[in-house]
């Protein structure tokens, strides 16, 4: 599994590509839209941003997968939003929008997971690598 350092390095390279291209590159990866998710660190209380793919738009809500490449531990961003579900999301370099993040219910996951893994098989492979059920997170605009 990728180390925290490797994940941070990948995120930095992604941001570098976006910056060098003036935002023309980097907003799609593996056929999925990319978003910037900002959470509040559960230990530090500081904003923490990460670039994530969104393999599914469900009734106007973006869905992200807390896979961490099939690691046995949840990604830090997931733990942060679990503790504080108010997040900010930016798409295509646009303004950050305040959203509420929530873990998909078992029923929602049961419906969405086959859609995601049917189109993006890497997620099914990640699930096979770990005993934890990989959570799906629904990002809902604030009303």
Position 79 pLDDT exceeds 90 = yes
Question: Does the pLDDT of residue 12 top 80, yes or no?
Answer: no
pLDDT for 22: 56
Count the domains in the chain: 1
| pLDDT given for residue 21 in this prediction | 53
| pLDDT tens-digit readout, 86-111 | 999 999 878 899 999 999 999 999 99
Q: What are phi and psi of 63, to 5 degrees?
A: -120, 135
Count CB neighbours of 55 within 10 A. Answer: 22
Residue ranges making up the domain that contains 119:
4-141
How confident is the model at residue 31, as a pLDDT? 83
pLDDT tens string 28-52: 667 889 999 999 999 999 999 999 9
Q: Look up the CATH number of the domain holding residue 44.
A: 2.30.110.10
* Backbone torsion region of residue 92, taken as left when φ is above 0, otherwise alpha when ψ lies between -120 and 50, otherwise beta: left
pTM, rounded to two decimals: 0.84
Question: Which residues lie below 8 Å from residue 97, measured CB to CB, with a gap of 6+?
Answer: 88, 89, 90, 141, 142
What is the distance between the alpha carbons of residues 122 and 116, in angstroms, rounded to a whole number?
A: 10
């Amino acid at each position: 599994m990728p180390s925290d350092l490797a994940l941070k390095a990948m995120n930095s390279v992604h941001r570098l590509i976006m910056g060098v291209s003036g935002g023309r590159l980097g907003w799609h990866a593996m056929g999925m839209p990319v978003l910037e998710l900002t959470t509040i660190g559960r230990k530090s209380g500081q904003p923490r941003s990460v670039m994530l793919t969104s393999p599914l738009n469900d009734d106007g809500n973006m869905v992200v997968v807390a896979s961490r490449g099939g690691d046995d531990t949840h990604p830090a961003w997931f733990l942060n939003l679990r503790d504080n579900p108010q997040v900010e999301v930016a798409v295509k370099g646009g303004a950050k929008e305040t959203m509420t993040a929530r873990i998909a219910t078992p029923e929602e996951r049961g419906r969405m997971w086959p859609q995601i893994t049917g189109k993006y098989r890497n997620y099914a492979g990640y699930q096979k690598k770990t005993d934890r059920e990989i959570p799906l997170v629904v990002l809902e605009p604030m009303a």
